[in-house]
C-alpha cells in the first residue's frame, strides 16, 4: 500500500468514527440520552450595590407585563460549583456550620446539589427592555439565569 492510499484510508476511518459518534454511538450514551437541554437566558449583574437580571435581548418579549408585578422568582445556576465532585455531594452541614448535623441537600437550599439550580424570590425595582433591576439576590455576579416566573 502506498503512502497516499494509507492516508486516504486513515481519513475514511476517522471520518466514519466521527459520523457514528455524532449519531449517538458514543461512550456515556445512556446518561447523555437522559440529559435535558438547559440554556442560560441571561446573567445576574451586580454593580455599585445594585442588582440586575440582564437577559439575552432575544428573550425581551418574554418580559411583557412583568412590570405590573411586585416580585419575580429567579432561577439561576450555581456555576461555581459545576464540577462532578461537587455535584456528587448529597449531604451537607446546613449553612456550612459543622455544628449543624448533616442534612440531605434536598432538605436544604445548599448551592451544592446534583442539579445546580438556585431559586430566589426578588422584589422588582424596574423592567426596561431586556433588563430587570431587583432589590437583591443571593446569586454571585455573573451567574447564569435560566428562568423567571411570576
Residue 35 CB, shortest distance to a second copy, in Å, is: 6
| Nearest one of 149, 107, 88, 117 to 138, comparing CA atoms | 117
Indicate the helix (H) or strand (E) that contains 5.
helix 3-22
**Interface characters, 38-77, with a second copy (x: CB under 8 A):** xxxx-----------------x-xxxxxx-xx--xx-x-x
Which one among 54, 81, 93, 117 touches a second copy, defined by CB under 8 A?
Answer: 117
Q: How far apart are CA 40 and CA 43, in angstroms?
A: 8
Helix (H, G, I), strand (E, B) or coil at 116: coil
Q: How far apart are CA 108 and CA 92, in angstroms?
A: 9
Contact residues for a second copy, defined by CB under 8 A: 4-5, 7-8, 11-12, 14-15, 18, 31, 34-41, 59, 61-66, 68-69, 72-73, 75, 77, 82, 90-91, 101-109, 113-117, 119, 144, 146-150
Amino acid at each position: 500500500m502506498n503512502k497516499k492510499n494509507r492516508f486516504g484510508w486513515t481519513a475514511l476511518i476517522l471520518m466514519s468514527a466521527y459520523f457514528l459518534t455524532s449519531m449517538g454511538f458514543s461512550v456515556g450514551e445512556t446518561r447523555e440520552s437522559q440529559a435535558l437541554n438547559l440554556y442560560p437566558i441571561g446573567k445576574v449583574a451586580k454593580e455599585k450595590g445594585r442588582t440586575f437580571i440582564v437577559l439575552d435581548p432575544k428573550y425581551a418579549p418574554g418580559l411583557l407585563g412583568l412590570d405590573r408585578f411586585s416580585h419575580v422568582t429567579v432561577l439561576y445556576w450555581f456555576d461555581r460549583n459545576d464540577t462532578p465532585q461537587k455535584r456528587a455531594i448529597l449531604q451537607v452541614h446546613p449553612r456550612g456550620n459543622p455544628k449543624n448535623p448533616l442534612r440531605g441537600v434536598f432538605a436544604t437550599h445548599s448551592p451544592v446539589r446534583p442539579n445546580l439550580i438556585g431559586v430566589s424570590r426578588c422584589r422588582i425595582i424596574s423592567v426596561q427592555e431586556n433588563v430587570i433591576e431587583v432589590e437583591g439576590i443571593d446569586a454571585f455576579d455573573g451567574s447564569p439565569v435560566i428562568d423567571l416566573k411570576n
